Structure 1
Amino acid sequence: MTEQDVLAVSKLLGESWRNTYGPIVGLAETAKISDVHHAPPRLVEELADTNKTAVVAERPDGSLAGYAMTKTDALGDVMLDRLHIEKSEFGTGLAADLLDAVLSIHAGLPSIALEVLEGNDRALAFYRKHGFEVVDRKPSSYGSEGRMSLIMRKLLAR
């Protein structure tokens, strides 16, 4: 990902969040969270953070089709923080390709984790299909008051 991608990524994240989480937590709360976390200045800051790795998937015409971002904590544990694709790309295999790219970047690590808001059944099914298992349940870190998330982890081949 480059700074040239920031506006397209911001738009993709905003639309994806509203479509995915609006029915779960309500459109107003979803928009409020997304407007803070997916604003272009925030994405530019994240791009400069050496503990975060962001990748984009582009169509042949150069338009953005998907985005993923991981973050690494002080102990070296990697968390898949975002994986979003354009709704028109659902069912094409793009999400799996983007996940494979993320896993390749982090090859050699023992595992990778992620957090899924309860009620996001599409994501839960996707990650289970790709070898992630639920390892914990905790209050959501996405700013959704009173909501719970599932922590999933995938062991990576060494």
Structure 2
Amino acid sequence: MPWTIAPITLDDADEVGRVHVEVWRQAYAGLMPADHLAGLDPAAFASHWRDRLLAPVPGVEHWLARDETGIVGIATSGPGRDEDRPTPLELYAINVLARGHGTGVSDALLARAVGDRAAYLWVLEGNDRALAFYRRHGFADEGGRKPEPDTGTLEIRMARSDRTP
């Protein structure tokens, strides 16, 4: 395995902010407005990460994957945030740089963030790579739809039941 998984710490905030923006620009090109993606600020993202880490929410977990050149991906999960949540656990995000695609790092982040538990998530409509990944892990479109808050881009809710034997 060319990477390690660990909890995100305050010392990681600047790099996590930079990686978070870079992943969005890579993954959402053509799905979100180009001017929105170009205007994302790594320093602002880092500040948000510091805020999250300094004021942790019970049950919320933040993970990173680090390879030989730095952070390659991040994942966050916690209590479902939707009034009509289909399961108690929500996968808030998995964000992996293109250099990590096909390496298994996304699988490892998902395993750490939710394991085999029942969970749900939101994914941008048209993000075919992510949709295929989540389907491969037992998630299915359960009908929920909402606009992404900053751009209005449609998000699809996917869920799966408990997969523990």
TM class by shorter-chain length?
Answer: 0.7 to 0.9
User: Secondary structure at 2:91's aligned position in 1?
Assistant: strand
Distance 2:44 2:103 in 1: 25
Distance 1:103 1:93 in 2: 16
User: Secondary structure at 2:30's aligned position in 1?
Assistant: helix
Please state how far the C-alpha of 1:113 moved relative to its aligned partner: 0.7
Q: Where does the alignment leave 5 or more consecutive residues of structure 1 unmatched?
A: none
Runs of 4+ in 1 over 3 A off after TM superposition: 34-38, 73-76
Q: 2:92 aligned with 1:86, yes or no?
A: no
Structure 1 residue corresponding to 2:141, chosen from 119, 125, 134: 134
Q: Where does the alignment leave 5 or more consecutive residues of structure 2 unmatched?
A: 1-7
Amino acid at match of 1:135: E
Structure 2 residue corresponding to 1:53, chosen from 61, 84, 94: 61
Distance 1:132 1:71 in 2: 17
Please state how far the C-alpha of 1:49 moved relative to its aligned partner: 2.3
**Residue number in structure 2 paired with 1:24:** 31
Task: Write the deviation string for residues 104-156 of structure 1: whole angstroms up to 9, x where unpaired.
Answer: 3xx6x5x21100110111100110011101112312234222x3211001212
Task: Write the deviation string for residues 57-104 of structure 1: whole angstroms up to 9, x where unpaired.
Answer: 122x47212110113147882211110112111111111111111123
Which structure: greater helix fraction?
A: 1
Q: CA RMSD in A?
A: 2.4
Please state how far the C-alpha of 1:20 moved relative to its aligned partner: 1.3
The number of residues matched between the two structures is 151
Distance 2:42 2:73 in 1: 20
Amino-acid identity (%): 25
Distance 2:21 2:106 in 1: 17
Listed as ranges, the matches of 1:1-150 within 5 Å are 1-32=8-39, 34-35=40-41, 39-47=45-53, 48-51=55-58, 52-59=60-67, 61=68, 63-73=70-80, 77-104=88-115, 111-145=118-152, 147-150=153-156
Please state how far the C-alpha of 1:9 moved relative to its aligned partner: 0.8
Structure 2 residue corresponding to 1:151, chosen from 132, 140, 157: 157
Distance 1:130 1:26 in 2: 29
User: Secondary structure at 2:31's aligned position in 1?
Assistant: helix
- The TM-score normalised by the length of structure 2 is 0.80
Higher RCO (CA < 8 A, seq sep 6+): 2
